[in-house]
A and B are shown apart, each in its own frame.
Chain A
Amino acid sequence: DGGITQSPKYLFRKEGQNVTLSCEQNLNHDAMYWYRQDPGQGLRLIYYSQIVNDFQKGDIAEGYSVSREKKESFPLTVTSAQKNPTAFYLCASSSPGLVTTDTQYFGPGTRLTVL
């Protein structure tokens, strides 16, 4: 089945540690996105990538980093510089990335808790 997978589903981290969230898609989509979801705030865009080896900052990129070495993969690293990292993180993808009508498809999410 085609889709987006995110792992792990739950992640616990101590303060001061970096952690990497995985996002993989087999939909052959060009564009991929990372969002952060906090209660009562909807979704906010962290980073997005329209094509392999290229990515752009979203609205709240500080304290996060990404890479896009393969079309299928778009991992997100939450660094120790992120002041309030506890949140639900959602990865999404869309294709082909140049058409404005593209629908974004979402993964199941990773819930990160900083202890």
Chain B
Amino acid sequence: AQSVTQLDSQVPVFEEAPVELRCNYSSSVSVYLFWYVQYPNQGLQLLLKYLSGSTLVESINGFEAEFNKSQTSFHLRKPSVHISDTAEYFCAVSDAAGNTGFQKLVFGTGTRLLVSP
């Protein structure tokens, strides 16, 4: 079974500062990794995902995450945040080695990013 740990429940930063949201996972098999973003009172939107290939994945709005197998991490970074990035961010993992046709997504508890002017 997989598990995901997001140690920071809240990360306050100033606008235009860099930010890193940490995500560590635990799994005995190969995994797929995801970051989702949730704005207040809305559903989740996929931000980026790692399936295979390059360990650095990027989103269209400047976020990036790097899969580090040795450290079992998938931290999310952005070099310069905007006020509009204020949201809750969820890291999720699924089993990449399963063959049952259903891949359960296991979510972390989320990190609330608070960007101040």
Contacts and interface: CB of A to CB of B under 8 A. Distances in A.
Shortest Cβ-Cβ A-B pairs, 3 listed: A106-B43, A42-B107, A106-B44
The listed residue with most B CB atoms (<10 A of its CB), out of A42, A50, A108, A109, is: A42
Interface of B: 9, 32, 34, 36, 41-46, 49, 51, 90, 94-96, 98, 101-105, 107-110
Interface residues of A, number: 28
The listed residue with most B CB atoms (<10 A of its CB), out of A41, A101, A111, is: A101
Nearest to A88: B41
A6 B41 CA distance: 13
Interface of A: 4, 6, 31, 40-45, 48, 50, 56, 58, 90, 92, 97-98, 100-109, 111
Contacts of B102: 31, 48, 50, 56, 97
Given A42-B108, A101-B32, A104-B105, A90 B43 contact: yes
A44 B107 CA distance: 8
A100 B98 contact: yes
Given A41-B109, A42-B90, A42-B108, A102 B103 contact: yes
A100 B94 contact: yes
A109 B45 CA distance: 12
A108 B40 CA distance: 10
Contact of B107 (A43, A97, A100, A111): A43
A32 to B, nearest CB: 11
